Amino acid sequence: MSFEVKIPLFEGPFDLLLFFIERDELDIYDIPISQITNDFLDYLHHLEKLEIEVASEFILVAATLMRIKAKMLLPRPKLNEDGEEIDPRDELIRHLLEYKKYKSVLSELAKLEEERLTKEVRGNISKELKYLAATHDVEDELQDLDLYKLLKVYQKMMQKFAARQDDTTHTVVQYPYTIEQQKTLVMDLLSQKEKIPFTDLISYKTEKIFVIYSFLAILELLQLSLVTLHLGEGFNNFWIEKIAEVPAPAL
């Protein structure tokens, strides 16, 4: 039976050290250097057994940990200018705190990167406008904008607006005719003659709208059975004849 061993891969040696500190709830300002060195070297040994190439920065940090461990075992501590003992771990702690600070903003930077990828690069607007003007053969008003060009554009727009106003002007004319009025006129003419040709109505007043209203009046009279029509001679001509009233029977 074979076993598959998986170990987590870390982005760098400081990421691995922070993992050990958080896992074992260690004080970052008072790192047990012996314990964390053993954990770090044990991780590297596992990588070697799995035939995973160990990066140089991991080897460098491993050497640094062993150096710090050796210094802490020496009986002669190193002193600073004030005569105070220098902790060999100070430089390591400073690097870890710096790395932890940057790591804390990685999620925010990743979010900003994701938002940035959803946006389209605008580029050089001036160059883009010149390219559009050249490829589409149009006048580029914004390329070298000044007050004179603005006034010219304003003048063109006002001229177009005035022309559009002229095109869309509508005048409603109230014609002096009604269907009832024309029905009365037709019946008055039929009271003078037994029948009249439609051409007489046209010649009575040649205005187009008058002829239309007269024709509609004749159609209504025909529907009311007050007149009858006879085809006459000529183009589109007919005779209009009044229907005689039938006397009521004597009682």
Give the pLDDT band (50/70/90) at residue 106. confident
Check if the beta carbon of residue 241 is closer than 8 Å to that of residue 227. yes
Residue type (1 letter), 66: M
Report the alpha-carbon distance of residue 164 to residue 158 in Å, rounded. Answer: 10
Delineate the domains of the chain, giving CATH numbers in brackets: 13-114 (no CATH), 179-242 (1.10.10.580)
Task: For the chain, give the number of residues.
Answer: 251
* SS3 (DSSP) at 196: strand
Residue with the bigger pLDDT between 36 and 248: it is: 36
Instruction: Determine the pLDDT at residue 2.
Output: 37
Instruction: Determine the pLDDT at residue 108.
Output: 81
Answer whether residue 72 shows pLDDT above 70. yes
Quick one: average pLDDT of 203-220?
Answer: 85
The terminus-to-terminus CA distance of the chain in angstroms comes to: 131
The dihedral formed by the CA atoms of 179, 183, 188 and 189, expressed in degrees to the nearest 10: 100
Instruction: Determine the pLDDT at residue 5.
Output: 39
Give the pLDDT band (50/70/90) at residue 6. very low
Answer whether residue 3 shows pLDDT above 50. no
Report the alpha-carbon distance of residue 64 to residue 201 in Å, rounded. Answer: 120
Percent over 90 (pLDDT), the chain: 0
How would DSSP label each residue in 26-88? --TTS--HHHHHHHHHHHHHHHHHTTPPPPHHHHHHHHHHHHHHHHHHSSS--B-TTSPBPPT
Residue with the bigger pLDDT between 171 and 170: it is: 171
